[in-house]
Chains A and B, each alone.
Chain A
Amino acid sequence: MKSFFSLLFLLLVTISGIRAQEKALSIPHTVHTLDNGLTVILHEDHTVPMVTVNVWYHVGSSYEKPKRTGFAHLFEHIMFEGSGNVKEGDFDNLLEAVGGNNNGSTTQDRTNYYETLPANALDLALFLESDRMGYLLEAMSPGKVDGQRDVVKNERRQSYENRPYGMAFQTILENFYPKDHPYNWPVIGYMDDLTAASYEDVVEFFKKYYAPNNAVLVIAGDIEPAKALEKVKYWFNEIPQGEAVIRPTAPVFGLLDEKKLTIEDNVQLPRLYLAYQSPARYAPGDAEMDVAADVLANGKNSRLYKRLVYELQIAQNVSVYQDGSALGGMFMVVATARPGIKLAQLQAVIDEEIGKLTTTAPTEREVQRVIHQNESNILRQMESPMAKAEMLQSYYRFAGNPDWLNEDFSRYKALQPSDISASVRQYLNPKKRVVLSVVPKGKTDLAIQ
């Protein structure tokens, strides 16, 4: 497998300790741009006779208007309902008939669509993807929008209303970002907005964002790149370019104080959420905060797990993550209290441990642990064409270069422990955060006051 050679080499070199000879991590690929602006990225992997076709449209919930939230995600659903030359239901029927699978997902910044199918059926996936890119509206109807509106409302019920602690994240977003910030609402949107979405809104949204010049197509798997490119041209060349898309911008804002909120829920145990502003994806400080999150809560020896769960046994669990997106990041600490424990007790320990990190750098070993785990993760992803396609997409969208894997990993390897504490000092200010307590109904005394 020549595509993995460089990686193998890296690991061999790492154990023998000759870091100077390291070769770059890379996902070998070619990039092409069609006349209509469609970016095409191709990657060969002949492990099994399967192929992944992966399209990113650079539109997510941050491109929506207030009162029309949830649109990008509603659209993700509508894109499977048939297009000019594909009957309703046939997107799945046709793919399944050749042994394929498909799905999609939406974030604040982008929407993705993908098919995994036997390599001999590549044309089918390209036909389906190009047909909905070029001819979706020919088959669209108010009835189809209504149908998916109901499905999405049930997706929301399943993930929010009917799930313990399900309303927490939405509450945090609303209070963390200012009203005019495009990350102020949940990706899935509000029930009222989903009800209000009209057929005309759908048409307008499609025309604006689902053109080839706002899309990137990645094919990874058992392909010959030259032949695959010819196929892509055959199916996509005829789709006209759309108007240039203006990416959303965010107002500059800063959390100026500590915002304390409480919600009551049908739960046994209270849970604490602390949300801090942090760097955008791949921006300076993002890698530092990522490492800080792992130092705080990944594994039994992480600082918060060790104290809250292992030693003091006042929490049932704790998790911390850095979530860098295009327009900014959120650093989140979540801890569930043991019965009888007030959330203030958890917060005191969390603040103490974060405080220690601001004054004293983590140990070399703590930082190295994160790097080793990243390395293993990269290996795992390298085994899956689907995961590699997503990496190529993500690096292209957020770093401007599909093969940014080596640079991404190098960000971590270059870190000094003192960089971590410097970033923690900068971003984890206890006076500038959203503090949310979710407590059992009637037990507001357990909340942070």
Chain B
Amino acid sequence: MKAILAFFLGLLLTVHSLVAQKADRTKPPVSEAPRSLMVPKVEQFILKNGVKVYYLQKTGVPHVSITIRSNGGTANDPEDKIGLATATATLMRDGAGNRNALQLSDEIDYLGIMLQSYASADEMSVGLFTPVSRLDAALDLMRDVVLKPRFEAAEWERRQRESLVALAQAHDEARIIASTAFNQLIYGKAHPFARRATESTLKNISIADIQGFYRQTITAANSSFLVVGDVAKETIKAKLDARFGLWKGGTAKKVTISDPAKTIGRTLYLVDKPGAAQTELRFGSAGVRRSTPDYFAITIMNTILGGSFSSRLNQNIRETHGYAYGANSGFSFPRSVGHFIASSAVQTDVTDKAVNEFMKELTNIRNVSDDEMNRARNYEALGYPENFGTVNALAANISEKITHNLPDNYFNTYVPNILGLTKTQIERAAQQYVDPANMVIVMVGDLSKIRDGIEALSLGPIKVLTKEEVLGAIPVLK
């Protein structure tokens, strides 16, 4: 009997599953409980020469990211030699040790690795990304780039010409014109975040300048390492000691970048780009330091305003009105005080209407709904594990933690910090950090078609700038 019963039961079950089961679509499925994320703990150790190494082992895929960071960057460019830090970073990989520029590049490409060097406002960095199988050869090259750059005059002549041509090309790009003008108006033209190399400052930089900048900046006392990837601590320590152990000296540099003045009043700046199919729009003001206790409230407020696809700006400008392919907003957080910016590229003939909608959203963000708040908090908190999926994502997150000197438990407390925000905190952040009455507005487009409409909005005084006032004259090249 038992057997027969079991047979019948089996038949019944089979029949049941053959009947097409309709999914319940009356409401969205409820998610299971979130799975826990193992948040990595960053270790630190010291090389023989005293240089600090931040280290995180990530196994899984056999590759490694190694970054060397030194204090000092474009903010340290002398007024008459703007471009010097960038030139130094670029030339470091144009020949090093016993390899000239072509030989060095050949070796990097042959190994299939990435070895790059950059200058940011307050930091010089050399970054290596390599399969574990090529780590030794890759580190040899990295050592040469960091410790033995050749700085050949012919290489600088080449790079100089390349940079001058790039300056000329920037005049073609409405986006570059708009962003450059915006930075100049927020920070002031002489500020490190706003100033740009020009024909004369580039021509003013000599190989001796580059060598001098290098000697002062890329020193052991002024640098640290960040290692993330599939390599054991003892292994990488030995490899770094072997190559960088004799690197000594220098003094730790302190880079101070002045804060931008508070943005006062509302002024519109127009730059003519005849025939443009769209107008590049930028709205914003001076921002706030990363260390502010309001950081999390600002993050969620911005997610609601323009930091996600479902944000108000994107919904309004793109989905409701079809004025643009997209619209967004964000806060920049350098070591010093950064800025708030909202931006889009809108269709020329609706520029005035789009600007009007922007102004509405920048004002209305002072009130948020429970629904928006919940969605935004979940969006940032529950999606957080994505920041730890790859070696590069990890390196970027750890790097941010080091740069801003964030607390040791920062990664672990991020989710509760976000989920614990109240509506009052979010609305207060909007009131404090998004102030449409005190804002810079930049528009780059076809003034013959947009100017009347913009004037009719009566948003504030209008000033017209030329491309040359923003980017400087087009370099004369032959």
Contacts and interface: CB of A to CB of B under 8 A. Distances in A.
Interface string A124-156: 100100110001000000000011111101110
B381 A99 contact: yes
A301 B477 contact: no
B408 interface: no
A117 interface: yes
Nearest to B321: A150
Given A120-B35, A340-B477, A269 B375 contact: no
Given A96-B310, A338-B165, A339-B477, A379 B31 contact: no
A69 interface: no
B112 interface: yes
A124 B28 contact: yes
Given A99-B379, A234-B21, A147 B322 contact: yes
A98 B378 CA distance: 6
Given A50-B389, A118-B385, A369-B112, A124 B29 contact: yes
Given A89-B319, A127-B28, A383-B61, A368 B110 contact: yes
Contacts of B165: 269, 316, 338-339
A316 B382 contact: no
Interface in B262-304: 273, 275-278
Contact of B375 (A4, A96, A340, A382): A96
Contacts of A84: 25
Interface residues of B, number: 85
A161 B380 CA distance: 35
Interface stretch (B167-175, B179-187, B253-261, B359-367): B167-175
A89 B168 CA distance: 43
A151 B318 contact: yes
A50 B315 CA distance: 26
B28 A154 contact: no
A32 to B, nearest CB: 15
A20 interface: no
Given A89-B310, A316-B165, A380-B63, A373 B109 contact: yes
A8 B22 CA distance: 44
A93 B477 contact: no
A359 interface: no
- Taking each of A102, A121, A222, A382, which has the highest tally of chain B beta carbons within 10 Å of its own beta carbon? A121
Interface residues of A, number: 88
Contacts of B109: 298-301, 369, 373
Contact of B131 (A50, A93, A151, A379): A379
A48 interface: yes
Contact of A154 (B346, B385, B390): B346
B62 A301 contact: no
A54 B34 CA distance: 21
Contacts of A345: none
B171 A154 contact: no
A123 B385 contact: no
Nearest to A340: B478
B131 A99 contact: no
Interface string A80-105: 00001110011011101111111000
27 contacts: A7-B61, A12-B133, A14-B133, A48-B389, A89-B310, A97-B378, A98-B31, A98-B382, A99-B381, A119-B35, A120-B34, A150-B323, A151-B319, A153-B322, A154-B324, A158-B324, A266-B172, A266-B273, A268-B169, A269-B168, A301-B109, A316-B169, A339-B168, A379-B63, A380-B61, A382-B61, A385-B389
Given A123-B31, A310-B101, 13 more contacts: A11-B131, A11-B133, A48-B389, A49-B37, A101-B309, A118-B383, A130-B23, A151-B319, A154-B318, A158-B325, A369-B106, A372-B111, A379-B61
Q: Across chains A and B, which 8 residue pairs bring their CB atoms closest together, nearest first? A: A99-B382, A150-B322, A372-B112, A99-B383, A300-B105, A49-B35, A161-B277, A123-B29
Interface of B: 20-23, 25-26, 28-29, 31-37, 59-63, 101-102, 105-106, 108-113, 130-134, 158, 161-162, 165-166, 168-169, 171-174, 273, 275-278, 308-310, 315, 318-325, 345-347, 374-376, 378-386, 388-391, 474, 477-478
